[in-house]
Amino acid sequence: MNNSEQALDFSTVIASTVHDMKNSLAMLMQAHSQWLARLPDPQHYTPEQGVIEFEFSHLNGMLVQLLGLYKLGVNQMPLQPAYHELDDFIEAQLACHQDVFASRGIMATYQVDPLSPLGFFDRELIASVLGNSINNAIRYARHAVLISVSDDAGQLVLTVNDDGEGYPPEMIERQADYVQGINHSSGSTGLGLYFAGRIAALHQRNGVGGHTEISNGGPLGGGVFSLYLP
């Protein structure tokens, strides 16, 4: 067996393990939800519950990204774009994080440009990218998160804004370099941005692929993550 075959076998084992971990996490999340439903209402939105819900979502997002990157690596990532109502799509993504928003006292809102009510994209893949971006915004937001949808020269732009301290300047300056995002002191792997960029690039029209950008400022004055889809 040559080195490439060994590497492929190892990556397949890792992907299988990640898949099993994701299934176990799903069962744990379901059991937690059932237990939570039996608690009195005042205990539903405690800070501890917020930590649990956030970390559940964070772990699930990382496992989804790892499986997605494996599929991209072996060319098994199917793209199934379709037209979607952006109001419904954004509302669904925010609803997934509602308990965390409530426990952390974060006001989550969204704005959709009335001239761009529809988007053409793979719902599952873009939902995973947006979900990770919302998680990141929750981690650093003080009181508010805003998702805005607009049109930029014919491209659909989904933007996640928070009112935190924003991205470090060096991260913005070198955002095209995935490896520089790895920061062991902060726990950042850069995986989320790399995954988002790969998924955006899969969406193409007339030879133009999607891309991502990070910046600071925006309407809330904090970090700004933008996903451009042609």
**CA–CA distance, 144 with 132 (Å, rounded to integer):** 16
pTM: 0.76
Q: Which pLDDT tens digit goes with each residue over 11-38?
A: 677 777 777 788 887 888 788 778 877 8
Q: Which pLDDT tens digit goes with each residue over 195-222?
A: 899 899 999 988 889 999 999 999 999 9
pLDDT at 45: 66
Q: At residue 191, does pLDDT exceed 80?
A: no
Q: At residue 1, does pLDDT exceed 70?
A: no
Q: Which pLDDT tens digit goes with each residue over 54-108?
A: 777 778 777 877 777 777 777 767 788 999 999 999 999 999 888 889 888 899 9
Specify the CATH number of the domain 82-229. 3.30.565.10
Rg over alpha carbons for the chain, rounded to the nearest Å, is 18
φ/ψ (deg, to 5) at 80: -125, 75
Domain boundaries, the chain: 3-73, 82-229
Count CA atoms closer than 13 A to 117's CA, side-chain side. Answer: 2
Q: Which pLDDT tens digit goes with each residue over 128-177?
A: 899 989 989 998 999 999 999 999 888 999 999 999 999 988 888 877 77
pLDDT at 185: 47
- The mean pLDDT value for 35-46 works out to 75
Residue type at 86 in one-letter notation = L
CA quadruple 135, 141, 143, 146: dihedral sign: negative
Q: At residue 183, does pLDDT exceed 70?
A: no
In contact, 52 and 39? CB cutoff 8 Å:
no
